[in-house]
Structure 1
Amino acid sequence: MNSTRLFALSALARRGPLHGYAIRQAAQLDRTELWTDVKPGSLYNALKRMTEEGLVRVARTERDGNPPERTVFEITAAGRAELVAQRDAALADVRLLPDPVDLALQFTPDLSPDELTTAFTARRRTVADRLAQFERERETAAPDLVGLEPLIFEHCVARLRAELAWHDDVLDRLKETT
Protein backbone atom coordinates (compact mmCIF):
# COMPACT_ATOMS: atom_id res chain seq x y z
CA MET A 1 0.00 0.00 0.00
CA ASN A 2 1.37 3.38 -1.03
CA SER A 3 -0.34 6.38 0.59
CA THR A 4 0.95 8.89 -1.96
CA ARG A 5 -0.28 6.78 -4.85
CA LEU A 6 -3.64 6.25 -3.13
CA PHE A 7 -4.06 9.99 -2.53
CA ALA A 8 -3.08 11.05 -6.07
CA LEU A 9 -5.30 8.45 -7.73
CA SER A 10 -8.24 9.32 -5.48
CA ALA A 11 -7.81 13.04 -6.19
CA LEU A 12 -7.93 12.37 -9.93
CA ALA A 13 -10.90 10.00 -9.57
CA ARG A 14 -12.88 12.47 -7.45
CA ARG A 15 -11.99 15.74 -9.14
CA GLY A 16 -11.23 14.74 -12.72
CA PRO A 17 -8.14 15.79 -14.68
CA LEU A 18 -5.73 17.88 -12.60
CA HIS A 19 -2.20 19.19 -12.88
CA GLY A 20 0.36 18.20 -10.26
CA TYR A 21 0.18 21.52 -8.47
CA ALA A 22 -3.61 21.20 -8.07
CA ILE A 23 -3.15 17.72 -6.56
CA ARG A 24 -0.51 19.17 -4.22
CA GLN A 25 -2.92 21.95 -3.23
CA ALA A 26 -5.61 19.32 -2.57
CA ALA A 27 -3.19 17.51 -0.24
CA GLN A 28 -2.53 20.76 1.61
CA LEU A 29 -6.23 21.65 1.72
CA ASP A 30 -7.11 18.19 3.03
CA ARG A 31 -4.34 18.59 5.64
CA THR A 32 -2.96 15.19 4.68
CA GLU A 33 0.26 15.84 6.60
CA LEU A 34 -1.74 15.70 9.84
CA TRP A 35 -3.21 12.24 9.35
CA THR A 36 -1.14 10.37 6.76
CA ASP A 37 2.40 9.94 5.54
CA VAL A 38 1.65 11.68 2.21
CA LYS A 39 4.17 14.44 1.58
CA PRO A 40 2.87 16.97 -0.97
CA GLY A 41 6.31 17.22 -2.59
CA SER A 42 6.37 13.49 -3.35
CA LEU A 43 3.26 13.72 -5.53
CA TYR A 44 5.20 14.81 -8.64
CA ASN A 45 7.45 11.73 -8.58
CA ALA A 46 4.43 9.51 -7.95
CA LEU A 47 2.64 11.03 -10.96
CA LYS A 48 5.70 10.42 -13.13
CA ARG A 49 5.93 6.76 -12.05
CA MET A 50 2.19 6.21 -12.45
CA THR A 51 2.35 7.73 -15.96
CA GLU A 52 5.12 5.28 -16.85
CA GLU A 53 2.98 2.43 -15.47
CA GLY A 54 -0.13 3.52 -17.39
CA LEU A 55 -2.16 4.33 -14.26
CA VAL A 56 -2.51 7.97 -15.27
CA ARG A 57 -1.98 9.66 -18.62
CA VAL A 58 -1.22 13.16 -19.72
CA ALA A 59 -4.49 14.75 -20.78
CA ARG A 60 -2.94 18.02 -21.91
CA THR A 61 -0.55 20.78 -21.01
CA GLU A 62 -1.83 24.23 -20.24
CA ARG A 63 -0.51 27.64 -19.44
CA ASP A 64 -2.51 30.19 -17.49
CA GLY A 65 -0.82 33.57 -17.85
CA ASN A 66 2.94 33.65 -17.39
CA PRO A 67 3.60 30.62 -15.16
CA PRO A 68 5.28 27.63 -16.76
CA GLU A 69 3.22 25.09 -18.60
CA ARG A 70 1.48 22.57 -16.38
CA THR A 71 0.87 18.97 -17.25
CA VAL A 72 -2.71 17.88 -16.60
CA PHE A 73 -3.12 14.22 -15.67
CA GLU A 74 -6.16 11.98 -15.78
CA ILE A 75 -6.73 8.58 -14.29
CA THR A 76 -6.90 5.57 -16.63
CA ALA A 77 -8.96 2.39 -16.30
CA ALA A 78 -5.83 0.67 -14.96
CA GLY A 79 -5.48 3.57 -12.52
CA ARG A 80 -9.04 3.07 -11.28
CA ALA A 81 -8.30 -0.61 -10.69
CA GLU A 82 -5.10 0.37 -8.86
CA LEU A 83 -7.06 2.90 -6.78
CA VAL A 84 -9.44 0.13 -5.66
CA ALA A 85 -6.50 -2.17 -4.88
CA GLN A 86 -4.69 0.56 -2.92
CA ARG A 87 -7.85 1.51 -1.02
CA ASP A 88 -8.63 -2.09 -0.14
CA ALA A 89 -5.04 -2.68 0.97
CA ALA A 90 -5.18 0.44 3.14
CA LEU A 91 -8.43 -0.68 4.75
CA ALA A 92 -6.87 -4.05 5.57
CA ASP A 93 -3.46 -2.74 6.69
CA VAL A 94 -3.07 -2.09 10.41
CA ARG A 95 0.05 -0.18 11.34
CA LEU A 96 1.49 0.77 14.64
CA LEU A 97 4.40 2.94 13.70
CA PRO A 98 7.55 2.51 15.77
CA ASP A 99 8.11 5.27 18.31
CA PRO A 100 11.79 5.95 19.12
CA VAL A 101 10.84 6.40 22.79
CA ASP A 102 10.37 2.65 23.06
CA LEU A 103 13.96 2.06 21.98
CA ALA A 104 15.22 4.87 24.22
CA LEU A 105 13.51 3.31 27.25
CA GLN A 106 15.88 0.36 26.94
CA PHE A 107 18.83 2.67 27.48
CA THR A 108 17.72 4.69 30.51
CA PRO A 109 19.29 2.84 33.48
CA ASP A 110 21.76 5.71 33.89
CA LEU A 111 18.92 8.25 34.31
CA SER A 112 17.41 9.05 37.66
CA PRO A 113 13.63 8.92 38.14
CA ASP A 114 13.68 12.73 38.31
CA GLU A 115 15.47 12.96 34.93
CA LEU A 116 13.03 10.52 33.38
CA THR A 117 10.12 12.41 34.88
CA THR A 118 11.43 15.65 33.36
CA ALA A 119 11.80 14.01 29.94
CA PHE A 120 8.35 12.39 30.02
CA THR A 121 6.70 15.54 31.29
CA ALA A 122 8.11 17.39 28.27
CA ARG A 123 6.99 14.59 25.92
CA ARG A 124 3.52 14.61 27.44
CA ARG A 125 3.30 18.37 26.95
CA THR A 126 4.23 17.92 23.27
CA VAL A 127 1.56 15.25 22.78
CA ALA A 128 -1.01 17.44 24.53
CA ASP A 129 -0.06 20.36 22.27
CA ARG A 130 -0.50 18.16 19.18
CA LEU A 131 -3.87 17.00 20.43
CA ALA A 132 -4.97 20.60 20.98
CA GLN A 133 -3.72 21.54 17.51
CA PHE A 134 -5.55 18.61 15.96
CA GLU A 135 -8.77 19.49 17.76
CA ARG A 136 -8.47 23.09 16.48
CA GLU A 137 -7.88 21.77 12.95
CA ARG A 138 -10.92 19.51 13.31
CA GLU A 139 -13.08 22.46 14.38
CA THR A 140 -11.83 24.56 11.47
CA ALA A 141 -12.37 21.78 8.95
CA ALA A 142 -15.76 20.63 10.32
CA PRO A 143 -17.94 22.71 7.96
CA ASP A 144 -16.14 21.25 4.92
CA LEU A 145 -16.05 17.60 6.01
CA VAL A 146 -18.30 15.24 4.10
CA GLY A 147 -19.18 11.58 4.32
CA LEU A 148 -16.82 9.63 6.53
CA GLU A 149 -14.17 12.38 6.68
CA PRO A 150 -15.02 13.24 10.31
CA LEU A 151 -13.87 9.72 11.21
CA ILE A 152 -10.33 10.64 10.15
CA PHE A 153 -10.21 13.34 12.79
CA GLU A 154 -11.88 11.13 15.39
CA HIS A 155 -9.31 8.38 14.77
CA CYS A 156 -6.36 10.75 15.15
CA VAL A 157 -7.81 12.33 18.28
CA ALA A 158 -8.40 8.88 19.82
CA ARG A 159 -4.80 7.89 19.11
CA LEU A 160 -3.43 11.09 20.63
CA ARG A 161 -5.62 10.66 23.71
CA ALA A 162 -4.32 7.09 24.09
CA GLU A 163 -0.76 8.41 23.84
CA LEU A 164 -1.53 10.95 26.57
CA ALA A 165 -2.94 8.21 28.79
CA TRP A 166 0.23 6.13 28.29
CA HIS A 167 2.40 9.11 29.23
CA ASP A 168 0.28 9.64 32.36
CA ASP A 169 0.79 5.98 33.26
CA VAL A 170 4.56 6.29 32.80
CA LEU A 171 4.63 9.40 34.97
CA ASP A 172 2.56 7.67 37.67
CA ARG A 173 4.98 4.73 37.70
CA LEU A 174 7.95 7.06 37.91
CA LYS A 175 6.35 8.75 40.94
CA GLU A 176 6.18 5.36 42.63
CA THR A 177 9.95 4.95 42.26
CA THR A 178 10.83 8.23 43.97
Structure 2
Amino acid sequence: MNSTRLFVLGALAKDGPMHGHQIRRQAQEDRTELWTDIKPGSLYGALHRMAADGVVEVVRTEQEGNMPPRTVYGITEAGWEELAQHRDEALRTVRFPPDPVDLALLYVDDLSADDVRAVMTARRDEIAQRLAGWRTLHEQARPHLRGLEAITFEHTLFRLEAELAWHNKFLGETT
Protein backbone atom coordinates (compact mmCIF):
# COMPACT_ATOMS: atom_id res chain seq x y z
CA MET A 1 0.00 0.00 0.00
CA ASN A 2 1.43 3.33 -1.04
CA SER A 3 -0.08 6.30 0.82
CA THR A 4 1.06 8.84 -1.76
CA ARG A 5 -0.52 6.95 -4.64
CA LEU A 6 -3.68 6.41 -2.57
CA PHE A 7 -3.90 10.15 -1.84
CA VAL A 8 -3.28 11.28 -5.44
CA LEU A 9 -5.67 8.76 -6.95
CA GLY A 10 -8.26 9.49 -4.25
CA ALA A 11 -7.99 13.23 -4.81
CA LEU A 12 -8.42 12.85 -8.57
CA ALA A 13 -11.29 10.40 -8.11
CA LYS A 14 -13.06 12.67 -5.63
CA ASP A 15 -12.45 16.10 -7.16
CA GLY A 16 -11.79 15.36 -10.81
CA PRO A 17 -8.79 16.37 -12.95
CA MET A 18 -6.25 18.63 -11.26
CA HIS A 19 -2.73 19.89 -11.83
CA GLY A 20 0.09 19.10 -9.45
CA HIS A 21 -0.13 22.39 -7.58
CA GLN A 22 -3.81 21.79 -6.83
CA ILE A 23 -3.07 18.31 -5.50
CA ARG A 24 -0.20 19.63 -3.40
CA ARG A 25 -2.39 22.44 -2.05
CA GLN A 26 -5.07 19.90 -1.15
CA ALA A 27 -2.47 17.82 0.72
CA GLN A 28 -1.36 20.92 2.60
CA GLU A 29 -4.93 21.96 3.39
CA ASP A 30 -5.74 18.43 4.58
CA ARG A 31 -2.47 18.48 6.58
CA THR A 32 -1.68 15.00 5.31
CA GLU A 33 1.86 15.18 6.69
CA LEU A 34 0.37 15.09 10.21
CA TRP A 35 -1.48 11.81 9.85
CA THR A 36 0.23 9.97 6.99
CA ASP A 37 3.69 9.47 5.60
CA ILE A 38 2.88 11.74 2.63
CA LYS A 39 5.19 14.65 1.97
CA PRO A 40 3.48 17.32 -0.16
CA GLY A 41 6.74 18.01 -1.99
CA SER A 42 6.89 14.42 -3.23
CA LEU A 43 3.59 14.64 -5.06
CA TYR A 44 4.99 16.06 -8.30
CA GLY A 45 7.42 13.17 -8.71
CA ALA A 46 4.67 10.73 -7.83
CA LEU A 47 2.41 12.23 -10.51
CA HIS A 48 5.10 11.75 -13.16
CA ARG A 49 5.70 8.14 -12.10
CA MET A 50 1.98 7.47 -12.00
CA ALA A 51 1.56 8.89 -15.51
CA ALA A 52 4.37 6.61 -16.70
CA ASP A 53 2.58 3.69 -14.99
CA GLY A 54 -0.68 4.57 -16.76
CA VAL A 55 -2.79 5.15 -13.64
CA VAL A 56 -3.13 8.88 -14.37
CA GLU A 57 -3.08 10.64 -17.70
CA VAL A 58 -2.56 14.12 -18.98
CA VAL A 59 -5.96 15.67 -19.64
CA ARG A 60 -4.81 19.11 -20.76
CA THR A 61 -2.35 21.91 -20.14
CA GLU A 62 -3.53 25.18 -18.61
CA GLN A 63 -1.89 28.56 -18.39
CA GLU A 64 -3.21 31.50 -16.43
CA GLY A 65 -1.67 34.89 -17.16
CA ASN A 66 2.10 34.90 -16.77
CA MET A 67 2.08 31.68 -14.74
CA PRO A 68 3.96 28.73 -16.19
CA PRO A 69 1.84 26.13 -18.01
CA ARG A 70 0.38 23.49 -15.71
CA THR A 71 -0.33 19.91 -16.67
CA VAL A 72 -3.75 18.69 -15.56
CA TYR A 73 -4.02 15.00 -14.72
CA GLY A 74 -7.02 12.71 -14.56
CA ILE A 75 -7.43 9.20 -13.23
CA THR A 76 -7.48 6.34 -15.76
CA GLU A 77 -9.39 3.07 -15.63
CA ALA A 78 -6.20 1.41 -14.34
CA GLY A 79 -6.01 4.21 -11.76
CA TRP A 80 -9.51 3.46 -10.51
CA GLU A 81 -8.50 -0.18 -10.08
CA GLU A 82 -5.29 0.77 -8.26
CA LEU A 83 -7.19 3.22 -6.04
CA ALA A 84 -9.53 0.40 -4.98
CA GLN A 85 -6.57 -1.88 -4.27
CA HIS A 86 -4.72 0.69 -2.15
CA ARG A 87 -7.89 1.75 -0.34
CA ASP A 88 -8.95 -1.83 0.41
CA GLU A 89 -5.47 -2.79 1.60
CA ALA A 90 -5.26 0.28 3.84
CA LEU A 91 -8.66 -0.50 5.35
CA ARG A 92 -7.79 -4.17 5.96
CA THR A 93 -4.24 -3.70 7.24
CA VAL A 94 -3.60 -2.78 10.83
CA ARG A 95 -0.24 -1.09 11.02
CA PHE A 96 1.52 0.30 14.03
CA PRO A 97 4.84 1.72 12.98
CA PRO A 98 7.52 0.43 15.31
CA ASP A 99 8.91 2.97 17.71
CA PRO A 100 12.68 2.55 18.12
CA VAL A 101 12.37 3.67 21.76
CA ASP A 102 11.41 0.10 22.67
CA LEU A 103 14.64 -1.21 21.17
CA ALA A 104 16.72 1.60 22.65
CA LEU A 105 15.38 0.84 26.13
CA LEU A 106 16.97 -2.59 25.89
CA TYR A 107 20.39 -0.93 25.73
CA VAL A 108 20.33 1.69 28.48
CA ASP A 109 22.48 -0.25 30.98
CA ASP A 110 25.29 2.28 30.60
CA LEU A 111 22.95 5.19 31.50
CA SER A 112 21.96 6.20 34.98
CA ALA A 113 18.35 5.86 36.06
CA ASP A 114 18.21 9.67 36.20
CA ASP A 115 19.43 9.95 32.60
CA VAL A 116 16.85 7.44 31.37
CA ARG A 117 14.15 9.23 33.33
CA ALA A 118 15.19 12.60 31.87
CA VAL A 119 15.09 11.31 28.29
CA MET A 120 11.75 9.59 28.77
CA THR A 121 10.32 12.66 30.50
CA ALA A 122 11.38 14.77 27.53
CA ARG A 123 9.69 12.28 25.18
CA ARG A 124 6.54 12.34 27.29
CA ASP A 125 6.54 16.13 27.30
CA GLU A 126 6.89 16.24 23.51
CA ILE A 127 3.98 13.83 23.11
CA ALA A 128 1.92 15.94 25.53
CA GLN A 129 2.71 19.02 23.40
CA ARG A 130 1.70 17.23 20.21
CA LEU A 131 -1.51 16.06 21.86
CA ALA A 132 -2.30 19.60 23.01
CA GLY A 133 -1.61 20.86 19.49
CA TRP A 134 -3.89 18.21 17.98
CA ARG A 135 -6.64 19.06 20.45
CA THR A 136 -6.38 22.74 19.49
CA LEU A 137 -6.33 21.89 15.80
CA HIS A 138 -9.32 19.60 16.28
CA GLU A 139 -11.31 22.37 17.97
CA GLN A 140 -10.45 24.79 15.17
CA ALA A 141 -11.24 22.26 12.45
CA ARG A 142 -14.38 20.79 14.04
CA PRO A 143 -16.86 23.18 12.33
CA HIS A 144 -15.31 22.40 8.94
CA LEU A 145 -15.02 18.61 9.17
CA ARG A 146 -17.23 16.62 6.81
CA GLY A 147 -18.29 13.00 6.80
CA LEU A 148 -15.73 10.66 8.28
CA GLU A 149 -13.12 13.41 8.73
CA ALA A 150 -14.12 13.94 12.38
CA ILE A 151 -13.61 10.31 13.37
CA THR A 152 -10.30 10.06 11.49
CA PHE A 153 -9.15 13.16 13.34
CA GLU A 154 -10.04 11.48 16.63
CA HIS A 155 -8.03 8.42 15.63
CA THR A 156 -4.83 10.44 15.91
CA LEU A 157 -5.99 11.96 19.19
CA PHE A 158 -6.59 8.50 20.67
CA ARG A 159 -3.19 7.25 19.49
CA LEU A 160 -1.43 10.23 21.06
CA GLU A 161 -3.40 9.75 24.28
CA ALA A 162 -2.32 6.09 24.38
CA GLU A 163 1.33 7.06 23.85
CA LEU A 164 1.11 9.62 26.62
CA ALA A 165 -0.48 7.05 28.96
CA TRP A 166 2.31 4.54 28.21
CA HIS A 167 5.02 7.12 28.90
CA ASN A 168 3.33 8.09 32.15
CA LYS A 169 3.16 4.39 33.13
CA PHE A 170 6.84 3.92 32.24
CA LEU A 171 7.85 6.93 34.30
CA GLY A 172 5.64 5.84 37.18
CA GLU A 173 7.17 2.36 37.27
CA THR A 174 10.80 3.46 36.95
CA THR A 175 10.99 5.87 39.87
When normalised by structure 2's length, the TM-score is 0.97
Alignment correspondent of 2:66: 66
Task: Tell which deviates more after alignment, 13-22 or 112-121.
Answer: 112-121
Q: Note the 1:36-115 alignment, pairs <5 A.
A: 36-115=36-115
Alignment correspondent of 1:121: 121
TM-superposed CA distance for 1:137, in Å, is: 1.4
Distance 1:167 1:130 in 2: 14
- Report the AA paired with residue 74 of structure 2: E
Where structure 2 has 5 or more consecutive residues not aligned to the other structure, the ranges are none
TM-superposed CA distance for 1:142, in Å, is: 1.4
* Cα deviation 1:7-55 (Å, max 9, x = unaligned): 0001101111100010000000001011111111111111111111111
Q: Percent identity over the alignment?
A: 57
* Cα deviation 1:80-128 (Å, max 9, x = unaligned): 1111111001001111112121121111011121111111111100000
Are 1:35 and 1:152, in contact at CA under 8 Å, matched by a contact in 2?
Answer: no
Structural RMSD (CA): 0.9
Alignment correspondent of 1:159: 159
3-state SS in 1 of match to 2:147: coil
Alignment correspondent of 1:12: 12
Q: How many positions carry a matched residue from both structures? A: 175
Alignment correspondent of 1:173: 173
TM-superposed CA distance for 1:140, in Å, is: 1.6
When normalised by structure 1's length, the TM-score is 0.95
